[in-house]
Amino acid sequence: MDHLVLYRKYRPQTFAEIVGQEHVVKTLQNSLAQNKIAHAYLLAGPRGSGKTTIARILSKSANCANLSRIQEMNSVDKLSVRRSPRLAEAIGEAQVGEGEQDVPCNSCANCLEFNAGRSLDLIEIDAASNRGIDEIKNLRENVRFGPSSGRYKVYLIDEAHMLTKEAFNAFLKTLEEPPAHAIFILATTEAHRLPATIISRTQRFDFKRLSAPELEHRLKIVSNKENIQIEPEALRLIAHEADGSARDAEGMLGQVIAIGENKITLDQTEEVLGLFSNRKIKEFVGFLAAQDSVGALTWLHKTVEHGYDVNQFLKSLNHYLRKMMLVSLSPDLALKIKNELAEEDYKIMASQVQKFSTPFVVSLISGFSEAKKKLDYYPLPQMAVEVALINLLSYRPTPTIDSNLVEDSAIKISNDKLLISKQIQNSNVSKPVAISPDSNTLDLIQSKWAEIIKEVQPHNHSLSGFLLGMKPKEATASSLILTTKYSFHRDRLSDLKNKKIIEDAVHKVVGLRLVLSCVLEK
Ligand SMILES: [Zn+2]
């Protein structure tokens, strides 16, 4: 099955069917109703955002037999600009009767010709194919001839930035004195590559990248039309992966529908498209949260054996970790992420965030991004992930620290602001575990302090020198607080690498994995 079948089959035929780009649709509908059609339009924006679709609907509307009726009505009663049902609803206007006043009507002879791709009044030029030299020459020669059956002859120049300098110059002469019956529509993903002389003669519309919810909405419409039941999570996964492009989204949906099931699950969708849903990624992150490198590696091996692509895995993993980072940073950002995710997925993410400090999530993102760059460097692509994973998990994530404790002892730890805001954010998710001081551990560490310093020495000589001036002040079951008189000592300890050296030394000497922090002596 051609993966663009659905995209072509369900290409919107009316303004009302367009998802997203409300600003463009509204302005074009108004100018049609008020007979203020421009001679040249520039439609600029990312691929798959609907430029060509809207250009074709505009061409069809300009030639629709129903247009003059609407324009007449509009001149009789300025207030009753007829709009599509969708637009009417959006601006709170009474809806127009079923299709009767819509433009394009999709039932007049001109509309039917357009829909069948037979209209002689729409000339489509693909500037990418041969830089448009011959086409622009033809255009120059034929532009004076009027339309064959409609009111306008429309020239749609796709990928307009690909025109050569000569083609632009030739075209500019036409644009300077356009015949009354001609409409030029330039569509481009790279408007900055068009000459300013061309741009200034067009009415410009900037298309936005379609949002994931907009794409999801569009996919729902298409799957309903195809009579396919598909899990909402599957549509969400596709919408997210399509990265703003309706063409890509509908292409992927087509691939999934091609498996021939009437009921399509998220699992099937992942498998057919080789994608990773949040549901899948959170399993892996669960192993990270549990510091379970063996579990994580086993999961990875199974996934790779199943035929999944490591590059795609790292991409999805980093998207997930980015969301975790934002959730951990502020309640506002957390709310934004919450709206993007299924409720169940968000709940699990929020509970996973509790097990990580923001700096640790950041180190995971940069570690796995590095791994993505090194996929070709290792004999097996998954080795890049394995090496990164083992490296990263040797950094212990900092557990949530009780906010009272933070205030009482004015603990200053590295990236303290991040940790505290995380603390505040998380407090409505579930209560953090209060950490009570543990004098036995403190005694143990104080008695072994000289030994710990000795252990640090071979790793970092100057760091061991700093430690001589520091004292273990307080310990809990999972943390250790040192005091110092000097802020530059404290700063040295905020370095993750230094922290890790000391934490490892503590672990080696007293057998406890404690998270280190440092406060200034009052
Ligand atoms: Zn019509």
Q: 194-207: per-residue pLDDT in tens? A: 999 999 999 999 99
Q: How far is the CA of 56 from the centre of ligand 1 (A)?
A: 13
Q: How far is the CA of 104 from the centre of ligand 1 (A)?
A: 5
Residue 310 neighbours by CB under 8 Å, 6+ apart = 304, 375, 381, 382, 384, 385
User: H helices within 182-242, ranges in order?
Assistant: 196-199, 212-225, 232-241
Q: How far is the CA of 276 from the centre of ligand 1 (A)?
A: 44
**Integer angstrom CA distances of residue 234 from 248, 266, 494:** 15, 4, 43
Q: How far is the CA of 106 from the centre of ligand 1 (A)?
A: 5
String of DSSP letters for 54-79: HHHHHHHHHH-THHHHHHHHHHH-TT
> Domains (ranges, CATH) in the chain?
5-206 (3.40.50.300), 212-273 (1.10.8.60), 278-393 (1.20.272.10), 439-520 (3.30.300.180)
| Dist. CA 495–CA 514, nearest whole Å | 16
Q: Are strands 479-484 and 515-520 parallel, antiparallel or unpaired?
A: parallel
Query: In the predicted model, is pLDDT for residue 91 greater than 50?
Result: no
CA nearest neighbour of 102 among 50, 61, 48: 61
pLDDT at res. 76: 53
Q: How far is the CA of 63 from the centre of ligand 1 (A)?
A: 7
Q: How far is the CA of 250 from the centre of ligand 1 (A)?
A: 27
Q: Which amino acid is at 380?
A: L
Average pLDDT estimate for 359-381 = 91
Query: In the predicted model, is pLDDT for residue 412 greater than 50?
Result: no
Q: How far is the CA of 112 from the centre of ligand 1 (A)?
A: 7
Q: How far is the CA of 109 from the centre of ligand 1 (A)?
A: 7
Q: Is residue 110 a contact partner of residue 119, using CB atoms and an 8 Å limit?
A: yes
pLDDT at res. 140: 87
Q: How far is the CA of 410 from the centre of ligand 1 (A)?
A: 73
215 vs 68, higher pLDDT = 215
Query: In the predicted model, is pLDDT for residue 366 greater than 50?
Result: yes
Q: How far is the CA of 57 from the centre of ligand 1 (A)?
A: 11
- What confidence tier does 266 reach under pLDDT thresholds 50, 70, 90? very high
Q: Is residue 362 a contact partner of residue 325, using CB atoms and an 8 Å limit?
A: yes
| Dist. CA 162–CA 403, nearest whole Å | 59
Q: How far is the CA of 66 from the centre of ligand 1 (A)?
A: 5
| Dist. CA 446–CA 392, nearest whole Å | 29
Query: In the predicted model, is pLDDT for residue 180 greater than 50?
Result: yes
Sort 29 into a burial class: Cβ within 10 Å, 0-12 / 13-18 / 19+.
Answer: buried
Q: How far is the CA of 29 from the centre of ligand 1 (A)?
A: 14
Query: In the predicted model, is pLDDT for residue 83 greater than 70?
Result: no
Q: How far is the CA of 86 from the centre of ligand 1 (A)?
A: 18
- What confidence tier does 522 reach under pLDDT thresholds 50, 70, 90? low
- What confidence tier does 260 reach under pLDDT thresholds 50, 70, 90? confident
Q: Give me the chain's average pLDDT, please.
A: 83
Q: How far is the CA of 107 from the centre of ligand 1 (A)?
A: 5
Edge-to-edge order in the sheet of strand 515-520: 471-475, 479-484, 515-520
pLDDT in tens, 278-314: 888 999 999 998 889 999 999 999 999 988 899 999 9
Q: How far is the CA of 65 from the centre of ligand 1 (A)?
A: 5
Please state the pTM of the whole predicted model: 0.64
340 vs 249, higher pLDDT = 249
Q: How far is the CA of 379 from the centre of ligand 1 (A)?
A: 61
| Dist. CA 155–CA 121, nearest whole Å | 8
Residue 475 neighbours by CB under 8 Å, 6+ apart = 437, 438, 439, 441, 442, 445, 481, 514
Q: How far is the CA of 97 from the centre of ligand 1 (A)?
A: 16
Q: How far is the CA of 82 from the centre of ligand 1 (A)?
A: 15
Q: How far is the CA of 114 from the centre of ligand 1 (A)?
A: 9
87-101, 181-195, 374-388, range with greatest mean pLDDT: 181-195
Q: How far is the CA of 88 from the centre of ligand 1 (A)?
A: 19
Q: How far is the CA of 25 from the centre of ligand 1 (A)?
A: 17
Q: How far is the CA of 16 from the centre of ligand 1 (A)?
A: 14
Q: Is residue 95 a contact partner of residue 88, using CB atoms and an 8 Å limit?
A: yes
520 vs 345, higher pLDDT = 345
| Dist. CA 441–CA 435, nearest whole Å | 13
Give strand ranges (E) for 140-202: 153-158, 182-188
- For 380, half-sphere exposure in the C-beta direction (CA atoms, 13 angstrom radius) is 9
Q: How far is the CA of 67 from the centre of ligand 1 (A)?
A: 7
Q: How far is the CA of 94 from the centre of ligand 1 (A)?
A: 22
Which segment of 98-102, 428-432, 458-462, 480-484 scores lowest on mean pLDDT? 428-432
Q: How far is the CA of 75 from the centre of ligand 1 (A)?
A: 20
Q: How far is the CA of 224 from the centre of ligand 1 (A)?
A: 26
pLDDT in tens, 452-480: 999 998 888 888 888 887 889 888 777 88
Q: How far is the CA of 225 from the centre of ligand 1 (A)?
A: 23
Residue 255 neighbours by CB under 8 Å, 6+ apart = 1, 3, 272, 273
pLDDT at res. 404: 40
pLDDT at res. 95: 46
Q: How far is the CA of 20 from the centre of ligand 1 (A)?
A: 23
Which contiguous run of DSSP H or E holds residue 139?
A: helix 133-142
- Give the rounded percent of residues in the chain with a pLDDT score beyond 90: 47
Instruction: Provide the token pair at 359.
Output: 């700096």
| Dist. CA 434–CA 432, nearest whole Å | 6
Q: How far is the CA of 288 from the centre of ligand 1 (A)?
A: 59
